[in-house]
A and B are shown apart, each in its own frame.
Chain A
Amino acid sequence: MRAGRLPLALGLLIVGFATLVAVFGPFFAPHDPFAQDLAHRYVPPAWLPGGSPAHWLGTDGLGRDYLSRLILGARISMLIGVSTVVLSGIIGTTLGVLGGYFGGPVDAVVMFVVSCRLAIPLILVALTVVFMVGSSLAVVVLTIGLLLWERFAVVSRAVTRQVCALDYIAAAWAAGCSRPRVILGEVLPNIAHHLVVIATIDMAIAILLEAALSFLGLGVPPPLPSWGLMIAEAKDYMFFKPWVIEVPGVALLVLVLGINLLGDGLRDLLGARTDR
């Protein structure tokens, strides 16, 4: 393995671990993440003085086990990351491929819509929507998903144009392929590797955005333990009990870093393969 593959391996490790935790973690959580125990509030993690092996990462302000909440939070963060990326990926790729494939007026419309989207301040609109319809997991996913598609659109438009100029697309026409078949069967598989990279970037952004919304109290409603919400709940105590903010903060940092490393690694790997 060359040194260039190290980020990819590390990203794969982190994201893979986070996925495993998100899927299976809650079944192995040491405690019920919602069970309050007011007699044991703010128990520090096991390695700090006053910590207890019963709560490895300590407890929060309501005496809930921090590790169990962190594990369930991983599931929520990953769920939001994946579903928003699927949603925005479908929207953005559809628009981008149509624009890139048909060109002309269709392309002009697509680029206009993309420009409109870019003119919208993300957080502000997300805040407004959540404020108006109330917050729930579905609202957060829909809001972020409907706002994050522009990167997919721009990239898929550009690479679709490139791919469409290649001979194998003409060859597919010459072999008697229909238009849907050319777009779905010939163009899409050849732009997929670009979209995978965009997906990782957008996933990291979506997770951070959710954390930001939750931090502002407009994301996932409590008592669901989103990492952003955990940070928000801990912010009043950050000078007295720093670990309550450090634990979810580090988790968020590591996951986003891992996703970005994975994205960079995939870009290099797939880029190298297509250049050959």
Chain B
Amino acid sequence: MSALLEIEDLHIGFGALQAVRGIDVAVARRETHCLVGESGCGKSVSALSVMRLLPPRTRWSAKAISFDGQDIARLNERQMTRLRGDRIGMIFQEPMTSLNPAYTIGSQMTEVLRRHRGASRAEAARRAVAMLDRVGVTAPEMRLGQFPHQLSGGLRQRVMIATALLCEPELLIADEPTTALDVTVQAQILRLLASIQREMGLAVLLITHDLGIVARVADRVSVMYAGKIVEQASAASLFAAPRHPYTRGLLASIPVPGKVRKGERLGSIPGIVPRIEQGFQGCAFRDRCDHAAPECAGAVPEQRAGEGHRYSCRLPPGWIEA
């Protein structure tokens, strides 16, 4: 089965900075693919490139970004506009700023349907109410007439999700959809996303830095570091046996209630993410890695550890048992 979204060899650069250095990601239908990494590792721009929404004057290239067999990289702007919001939906990180303060919830939601589907005002409003109801917004009819500043953060994020889903997209790109929310609301939103995904058969590309979220919702995971995917595996395989030292470092830095004692230092990865410019060679993680060796400055081998589990490191698959 070919995947719904396939990104092959994507490069993105801003000036001298190389933000993304040749990543491959495939998202199958009905699958949740998580892109994990620290801020600045290139995960958000990778997602934006799927929508072709990179800032102007960004250098980017890809062997292919294919969506349902169509090469997005070669579509013109008009075809792209038709795709956005209709077959590919997107939700953003900041529920506080991702709704336009100048319009009511209703006009922002119905706008999408009216543009893409040519729905009448009444029909669009009816659909919007049904969708708000579906995402668990109370009193949906009333919400249509409200402005974004009258809603709480969690409610706004629900409105965002409802808006993104109105046209029944096949792919939903969620860029840190729960980062700005309370933990309790976070859980509700994640549960909501999961149930809607099952119901609508959505493919989801979820971008996050929170491995707790990944563990909860992901089918497949790509761990990004400094513009490269350092490890890619099914969620089960990744959490059971992470191979890349960076992935292991990330997992080790999650505080577990009960296990971490007061006053004890939390796990962390020393150092900072390096700035990658043209001509950079070798493993970008080597300066922070406990297992760094002289050969890490050279070409990094890509290794396999079982079905669909790839990682980029000199260490052999079996090193974690040793």
Contacts and interface: CB of A to CB of B under 8 A. Distances in A.
Given A170-B92, A171-B92, A176 B85 contact: yes
Interface in A52-109: 102-104
A177 B116 CA distance: 10
Interface string B41-53: 0000000100101
Nearest to A171: B98
Nearest to B109: A175
A276 interface: yes
Interface string A255-276: 0000000000000000000101
Given A167-B92, A171-B98, A189-B103, A104 B53 contact: no
A17 to B, nearest CB: 31
Interface in B194-237: none
Nearest to A188: B102
B97 A175 contact: no
A176 B98 contact: no
B79 to A, nearest CB: 11
Contact of B100 (A173, A186, A192, A276): A186
Interface in A101-137: 102-104
B34 interface: no
B53 A173 contact: yes
Contacts of B100: 168, 171-172, 186, 189-190
B97 A168 contact: yes
A171 B83 contact: no
Contacts of B94: 167
Contacts of B279: none
B160 interface: yes
A35 interface: no
Given A167-B93, A167-B94, A170-B53, A176 B83 contact: yes
Given A166-B97, A171-B98, A276-B149, A178 B81 contact: yes
A174 interface: yes
A177 B81 contact: yes
A102 B56 CA distance: 8
Contact of A171 (B57, B82, B86, B99): B99
Given A103-B56, A190-B102, A276-B149, A174 B89 contact: yes
Contacts of B83: 176
A226 B306 CA distance: 88
Nearest to B81: A176
Contacts of B82: 176
Interface in A155-196: 166-168, 170-178, 186, 189-190, 192
What is the interface of chain A mostly: helix, strand, loop, or mixed? Answer: helix
B96 to A, nearest CB: 8
A265 B129 CA distance: 38
Contact of A174 (B84, B97, B103): B84
A170 B112 CA distance: 14
Contacts of B92: 167, 170-171, 174
A176 B118 CA distance: 13
A176 B81 CA distance: 5
A174 B53 CA distance: 8
A189 B93 contact: no
A71 B103 CA distance: 40
B74 interface: no
Contacts of A189: 100, 102-103
Contacts of B89: 174
B56 A175 contact: no
B32 interface: no
A176 B116 contact: yes
B163 interface: yes
A154 B245 CA distance: 51
A274 B81 contact: no
A176 B86 contact: yes
B63 interface: no
Interface of A: 102-104, 166-168, 170-178, 186, 189-190, 192, 274, 276
29 contacts: A103-B56, A104-B57, A166-B97, A166-B98, A167-B92, A167-B94, A167-B97, A168-B101, A170-B92, A170-B98, A171-B90, A171-B92, A171-B98, A173-B53, A173-B84, A174-B53, A174-B89, A175-B84, A175-B115, A176-B81, A176-B83, A176-B84, A176-B86, A176-B115, A178-B81, A190-B101, A190-B102, A192-B102, A274-B101
Given A174-B92, A176-B83, 20 more contacts: A103-B56, A167-B92, A167-B97, A168-B101, A170-B48, A171-B90, A171-B100, A173-B51, A174-B85, A174-B173, A175-B112, A175-B163, A176-B81, A176-B82, A176-B85, A176-B116, A178-B81, A186-B102, A189-B102, A276-B149
- The 8 A-B pairs at the shortest CB distance, nearest first, are namely A176-B85, A189-B102, A175-B85, A167-B98, A174-B90, A176-B84, A168-B100, A167-B92
